[in-house]
């Protein structure tokens, strides 16, 4: 029988104990795969979404909420600001571009965003089919929206807010174009002109007195209405403006000037994204510690099992050597006995980890909005996959050294007398 056959026979003989080692290792590895995948993909997606946006100007409130709503489209907006303010910012010599956006409705959970064609250009998107909007109530959809079964020529009504609210009446939107996949948030957006947003919400806004407006983000319907109400003078309002500086020097003065001298808020995506990742990192660190504890426990249990096996098989191993087997063959046999469960744990752990990413992406609205890819390997995952084998090798070093130094005759004499 070959060394591999002997190792497999030992694996079958101690199948229950080995199953425990495999499950412990696989659980720790799967948890690390999920954490590594979430950290890498969320960080990369947030970076893509905010790339090229130096500041976001919106209503006073939480800077993080403003960035999450206007850049990453994961939260409700903080309020509105007049379009005149966006035009004033666009004329500022420190500003290279100011892109207005108007939010408030959704289609099957995909946010409907009113803006200008500059938003498509900003994300480097191109039309895969159809054309850009040219009239009110025409819309261009991202790749993920198109993958949900919506196609060019389809008509739809937006739903109030970001959840499953009531649908708008009146004229429906009509899809006129589909964007190619970009890997950014635009893949999950329904884009239309600002005129569409204003036209759709003009009548309710005129019927509802401004003094009776409910606080922003109280619920989906209130948040929706507040973000589109017109003021008594009838001027148009938008949710936020995405700002790109003409020079990095503007970062030293413009946000401070807006925050101190106006009733609006200027938030910096880079700062707020780092803050968000820092908040997430606290929980990620605790889960990583748990995963490390599981792997350490599996390595310790494997070491105990190897020592116990060595004690039980001293006579067999000594007899094996007396028949001509080299010490290296015994060492390889011990290593295979530890490596086979580790390899099984690696395969099972990677499969469970990516399945966990898939469940997380399907079950969490935030993860779904970030478009987590359960099949995408994270940077460093190959090294992570080698961790169980490394732990198995470390666990077998002590018993292997004991076997290497053992005296065959003394071992046979001792074990024969038992």
Which of 72, 76, 36, 37 is CA-nearest to residue 51? 72
d(CA 62, CA 216): 12
Structure tokens at 339: 């490596």
For the chain, percent of residues with pLDDT exceeding 70: 73
d(CA 3, CA 13): 15
Structural element, H or E, at residue 379: none
Residues 250-263, buried b or exposed e (16+ Cβ, 10 A)?
A: beeebbeebbeeee
pLDDT, greater one: 53 or 261 = 53
- The pLDDT, as a whole number, for residue 190 is 94
Least confident of 55-59, 72-76, 326-330: 326-330
pTM, rounded to two decimals: 0.71
What's the mean pLDDT in 338-365? 82
pLDDT, greater one: 411 or 154 = 154
The string of pLDDT tens digits covering residues 211-251 is: 333 333 334 444 444 444 444 434 688 999 999 999 989 99
Structure tokens at 313: 């098989």
Angle, alpha carbons 194-71-368 (nearest 5°): 105
Which of 18, 25, 23, 28 is CA-nearest to residue 338? 18
- With a CB cutoff of 8 Å and minimum separation 6, the contacts of 151 are 175, 178
Residues 309-322, buried b or exposed e (16+ Cβ, 10 A)?
A: bbeebbeebbebbe
In this model, does residue 365 exceed pLDDT 60? no
């Amino acid at each position: 029988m070959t060394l591999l056959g002997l190792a497999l026979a030992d694996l079958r003989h101690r199948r229950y104990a080995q199953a425990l080692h495999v499950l412990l290792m696989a659980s720790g590895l799967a948890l690390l795969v999920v954490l590594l995948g979430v950290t890498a993909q969320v960080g990369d997606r947030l970076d893509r979404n905010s790339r090229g946006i130096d500041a976001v100007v919106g209503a006073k409130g939480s800077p993080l909420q403003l960035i999450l709503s206007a850049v990453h489209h994961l939260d409700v907006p903080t309020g509105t600001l007049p379009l005149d303010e966006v035009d004033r910012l666009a004329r500022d010599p420190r500003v290279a571009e100011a892109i207005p956006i108007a939010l408030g409705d959704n289609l099957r959970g995909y946010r409907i965003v009113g803006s200008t064609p500059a938003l498509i250009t900003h994300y480097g998107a191109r039309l895969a089919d159809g054309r850009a909007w040219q009239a009110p109530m025409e819309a261009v959809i991202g790749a993920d929206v198109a993958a949900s079964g919506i196609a060019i020529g389809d008509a739809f009504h937006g739903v109030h807010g970001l959840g499953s609210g009531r649908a708008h009446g009146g004229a429906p939107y009509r899809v006129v174009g589909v964007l190619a996949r970009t890997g950014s948030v635009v893949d999950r957006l329904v884009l239309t002109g600002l005129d569409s947003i204003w036209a759709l919400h003009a009548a309710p806004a005129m019927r509802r007195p401004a003094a009776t407006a409910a606080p922003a983000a109280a619920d989906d319907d209130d948040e929706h209405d507040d973000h589109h109400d017109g003021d008594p003078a009838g001027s148009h309002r938008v949710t936020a403006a995405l700002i790109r500086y003409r020079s990095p020097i503007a970062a030293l003065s413009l946000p401070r000037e807006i925050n101190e001298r106006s009733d609006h808020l200027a938030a910096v995506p880079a700062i707020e994204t780092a803050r968000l990742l820092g908040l997430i990192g606290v929980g990620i660190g605790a889960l990583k510690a748990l995963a490390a504890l599981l792997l350490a426990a599996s390595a310790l249990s494997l070491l105990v099992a190897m020592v116990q096996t060595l004690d039980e098989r001293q006579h067999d191993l000594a007899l094996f050597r007396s028949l001509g087997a080299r010490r290296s063959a015994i060492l390889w046999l011990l290593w295979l006995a530890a490596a086979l469960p580790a390899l099984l744990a690696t395969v099972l752990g990677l499969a469970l980890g990516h399945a966990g990413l898939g469940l997380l992406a399907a079950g969490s609205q935030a993860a779904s909005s970030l478009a987590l890819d359960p099949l995408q390997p994270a940077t460093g995952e190959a090294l992570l996959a080698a961790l169980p084998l490394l732990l198995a090798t470390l666990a077998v070093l002590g018993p292997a050294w004991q076997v290497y130094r053992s005296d065959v005759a003394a071992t046979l004499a001792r074990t024969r007398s038992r």
